[in-house]
């Protein structure tokens, strides 16, 4: 099993730009600036050099984050662990392409939909190079179908196509449940 080095990255209204440096087993550094403008939201980054996991805890369930790399390139794989109770709206953008997803909150028929660049009528599937696998995980990290995701998280693997051209930053936006 690969051991990950950990660095906690916190942000609040008084500290909008939080810088995180994560060391890996080769003493190389993964350097990102992470901005979380919602008070109380946090991010923890773990990396082994080729794979990075960004665990975001959202206090309100509605939020956003910006991840700006200071390294020359992104790791081979980036996984977002979004700790929210539901995921009715997810959006990630590299400045050129925007990927969207929605996970239905009805427990009897949980359904995940995803699309690109506001073209909601053109659904992405596993054959698309922009496909983002989304899994629901419980508090132990085991896959679950439970919604709302109590004490668990949504695991979103970002597609390699999102990193073509080596964009300088990613913008993330999420809403757990739409409020009426």
Asked if the structure places residue 180 within a domain, the reply is no
Pairwise pLDDT comparison (169 vs 24), residue with the higher score? 169
Q: Is the pLDDT of residue 25 over 60?
A: no
User: Which pLDDT belongs to residue 20?
Assistant: 34
User: Which pLDDT belongs to residue 114?
Assistant: 92
What is the rounded CA–CA span in Å between residue 167 and residue 151?
33
User: Which pLDDT belongs to residue 145?
Assistant: 79
Domain that holds residue 29: 5-175
Model confidence over 53-94: pLDDT tens digits? 999 999 999 999 999 999 999 999 999 999 999 999 999 999
Confidence of residue 113 (pLDDT cuts 50, 70, 90): confident
Pairwise pLDDT comparison (144 vs 153), residue with the higher score? 153
pTM given for the model: 0.82
Confidence of residue 11 (pLDDT cuts 50, 70, 90): very low
Helix, strand, coil percentages (3-state) for the chain, rounded to 5, are 0, 50, 50
What is the rounded CA–CA span in Å between residue 51 and residue 42?
20
Backbone angles phi, psi at 92, to 5 degrees: -135, 135
Q: Is the pLDDT of residue 166 over 70?
A: yes
Asked if the structure places residue 77 within a domain, the reply is yes
Asked if the structure places residue 148 within a domain, the reply is yes
Give the Cα-Cα-Cα angle 3, 81, 173 (nearest 5 degrees): 145
Q: Are 172 and 73 contacting, i.e. CB atoms less than 8 angstroms apart?
A: no
Cβ atoms within 10 Å of 134's Cβ, excluding its own: 19
**Residue 111 token pair:** 């359904």
Asked if the structure places residue 86 within a domain, the reply is yes
Cβ atoms within 10 Å of 92's Cβ, excluding its own: 23
If you average pLDDT over residues 164-179, what whole number do you get? 94
How many distinct structural domains can be found in the chain?
A: 1
Asked if the structure places residue 106 within a domain, the reply is yes
């Amino acid at each position: 099993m690969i051991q990950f080095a950990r660095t906690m990255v916190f942000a609040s209204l008084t500290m909008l730009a939080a810088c995180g440096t994560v060391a890996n087993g080769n003493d190389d550094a993964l350097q990102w600036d992470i901005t979380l403008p919602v008070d109380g939201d946090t991010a923890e980054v773990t990396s082994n050099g080729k794979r990075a996991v960004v665990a975001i805890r959202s206090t309100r369930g509605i939020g956003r984050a910006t991840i700006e790399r200071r390294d020359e390139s992104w790791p081979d794989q980036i996984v977002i662990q979004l700790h929210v109770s539901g995921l009715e709206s997810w959006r990630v953008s590299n400045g050129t392409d925007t990927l969207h997803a929605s996970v239905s909150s009805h427990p009897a028929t949980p359904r995940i939909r995803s699309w690109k660049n506001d073209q909601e009528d053109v659904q992405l599937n596993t054959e698309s190079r922009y496909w983002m696998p989304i899994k629901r995980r419980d508090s132990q990290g085991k896959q679950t179908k439970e919604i709302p995701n109590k004490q668990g998280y949504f695991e979103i693997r970002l597609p390699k196509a999102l990193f073509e051209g080596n964009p300088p930053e990613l913008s993330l936006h999420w809403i757990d449940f739409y409020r009426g």
